[in-house]
Amino acid sequence: MSMTRRNAIKILAGAVPVFSALRLQAAAADDAGLNIQPGPFKGTRESLKAYRVPEWFRDAKFGIWAHWGPQSAAEAGDWYARNMYMQGGRQYQYHVEHYGHPSKFGFKDIIPTWKADKFDPDYLVGLYQKAGAKYFMSMGVHHDNFDLWNSKHTRWNAANMGPRRDIVGEFRQAALKRGLKFGVSDHLWITHKWFSTSHGADKDGPLAGIPYDGMDPKFVDLYCDSREVYTRLDWNENGIPESWKRHWFARIKDLVDNYQPDLLYCDGHIPFEEIGLSLVAHLYNLNAKLHGGEVQAVYTSKRREDSEVGTCLFDVERGVVESIWPDPWQTDTCVGGWHYDKGATYKTPKTVIDLLVDIVSRNGNLMLNFPLPNSGMLDDEELKILSEITAWMAVNSEAIYGTRPWKIFGEGPGTHKPAPNEQFNEKSRKELTAADVRFTTKGAVLYAFFMGWPEKEVVIAPLATSGQHATGKIGSVELLGFPGKLSWTHDATGLKVQLPPEKPCNHAYALRITGLS
């Protein structure tokens, strides 16, 4: 990185406070150690193999997430705190136009503009519960190194700056008040590399070579002490120092100890091997202590190998697994972008509901993010999507909650096989139509969703009396939300149902089939 001689001298002059701050940070992590709550698990892969996803999660099927924080203040999209330091990018241009150059007005200066002046967690969680969410997740800490709780390991937290409120604590209270399970998200492990762009400088232009504010020693505890600027981010642990790994452990352990989440979401794999495994064991052991010895907590990882042998829950970001997964899993996705963006285009209610049904049919859960703007209040379009989900759940929830997969998850032209890497494959999905069907079961009841409304008759071909998935007799067929009797036939071509003239809901219609033999 080029810079003027004067700026280089300033950086060197600040070296002593930089190293002092780092020593304090490392000391805090060392003091915390890796002492974990005694219990059934140790911080080893062998020990964690015994973990199983609890039944509450398998039954819940649907959760809502508030992806929110100081990056939401600009209302200019996700990864703002990183991208505002990348010359030539959309968010860099936005930042320069609205706030000034990042050497003079950096992310530290964005934080006080996060007002949350309309934030009402009780109202929001009430809407989410009404829409059918069985668990709610608050942001804990994003890659921007800013804790949304009253953190004892960093001054950069929401109780101390910005809205000056314990966001995690208030959301937790609202969720528990309504009987919802409570989750928090951790994105902190990669921060040491992610935030390194704040240590760069413009490559050209009138301020070329002038360091961004991340190089100011007074703010090393926000921007970290990265020695390399990762303009192209890789998601491995190379270059992350031991001191940061232990600091991560201390902060997330503080989060777990004080807010006792039912679900702890990791944005990535279980990080830092023995350090990360110790954190997972601590979560499970503390949770077991609170639940009579039974582990009711969930930890997520986006690496298949972490969850294929117990250990934790497999999480797929913006994607769907290829078929019925042998163990419970979760999709996390968003109605638009992760952090609020005034220019975002949202998913339609049909897309969201089709995604939920498809995921549940494959033994998964959907956790759906509604990004909050600076104010903390959902915008009108988000409220409309929530309202549509609420209306749909009022008719079809019995075919979602507490269900398990059938022989196959579904059939039809939209039943594509995703790419080998499940992450981020939702863009390749085809829109589901009346020719697509998805199945769930609950005890002796089979539910068959048809994903569009045909003109007069729906044919559920996989329920044919002969063929690969042949079924015997069917006792009764009902349409959820329709009180009358249906005319139907069952033969070698499938189950054929004559539909009523009026639709019972607007999306994804469910047949309740009993008496199968």
Strand duo 457-460 + 488-491: pairing: unpaired
Which of 462, 454, 463, 464 minimizes the C-alpha distance to 500? 454
CA distance 418 to 323: 9
Say if residue 121's pLDDT is above 80: yes
Q: pLDDT tens digit string along 470-513?
A: 788 999 999 999 999 999 999 999 999 999 999 999 999 999 99
Residue with token string 């039912």: 262
Q: Which residues contact 468 (CB under 8 A, 6 or more apart)?
A: none
CA distance 63 to 175: 11
CA distance 46 to 311: 9
Q: Mean pLDDT throughout 370-392?
A: 98
Q: What is the DSSP string of 324-367?
A: --SS-EEEEEESS-SS-BTTPPPPPHHHHHHHHHHHHHTTEEEE
**At 227, is the pLDDT very low, low, confident or very high (cuts 50, 70, 90)?**
confident
Strand duo 135-141 + 445-450: pairing: unpaired
Q: Mean pLDDT throughout 408-421?
A: 76
pLDDT value, residue 16:
37
The radius of gyration of the chain from alpha carbons, rounded to an integer in Å, stands at: 25
Average pLDDT over all residues of the chain = 92
Q: What residue segments make up the domains of the chain, in order of their start? A: 5-36+57-317
Q: pLDDT tens digit string along 243-298?
A: 999 999 999 999 999 999 999 999 999 999 999 999 999 999 999 999 999 999 99
Q: Mean pLDDT throughout 350-375?
A: 98
**At 420, is the pLDDT very low, low, confident or very high (cuts 50, 70, 90)?**
low
Q: How many CB atoms within 10 Å of residue 234?
A: 10
DSSP state, residue 470: -
CA distance 210 to 218: 17
pTM over 0.95: no
Say if residue 302's pLDDT is above 90: yes
The tokens for 304 are 């298949």
CA distance 109 to 104: 9
Which of 388, 322, 383 minimizes the C-alpha distance to 353? 388
Q: Domain 5-36+57-317's class?
A: alpha beta
**At 322, is the pLDDT very low, low, confident or very high (cuts 50, 70, 90)?**
confident
**At 28, is the pLDDT very low, low, confident or very high (cuts 50, 70, 90)?**
very low
Q: Mean pLDDT throughout 335-356?
A: 96
pLDDT value, residue 424:
54
Say if residue 93's pLDDT is above 70: yes
CA distance 400 to 61: 7
Q: pLDDT tens digit string along 126-160?
A: 999 999 999 999 999 999 999 999 999 999 999 99
The tokens for 457 are 């008759």
What percent of the chain has pLDDT above 70? Answer: 92
Say if residue 11's pLDDT is above 60: no
Q: Mean pLDDT throughout 179-205?
A: 97
Say if residue 428's pLDDT is above 90: no
CA distance 6 to 29: 35
- In the chain, how many H helices and how many E strands? 16, 16
CB 366 within 8 A of CB 333: yes
pLDDT value, residue 336:
95
Strand duo 135-141 + 181-186: pairing: parallel
Q: Mean pLDDT throughout 82-92?
A: 97
CB 82 within 8 A of CB 195: yes
The CB-side HSE value for 443 (13 A sphere, CA atoms) comes to 5
pLDDT value, residue 416:
61
**pLDDT higher at 170 or 420:** 170
**pLDDT higher at 430 or 373:** 373
CB 435 within 8 A of CB 412: yes
Say if residue 1's pLDDT is above 50: no
Q: pLDDT tens digit string along 30-76?
A: 434 689 999 999 999 999 999 999 999 999 999 999 999 999 999 99
Q: Is 196 helix (H, G, I), strand (E, B) or coil?
A: helix
Which of 303, 308, 313 minimizes the C-alpha distance to 262? 313
pLDDT value, residue 14:
43
Q: Mean pLDDT throughout 319-330?
A: 92
CB 113 within 8 A of CB 160: no
CA distance 138 to 181: 11
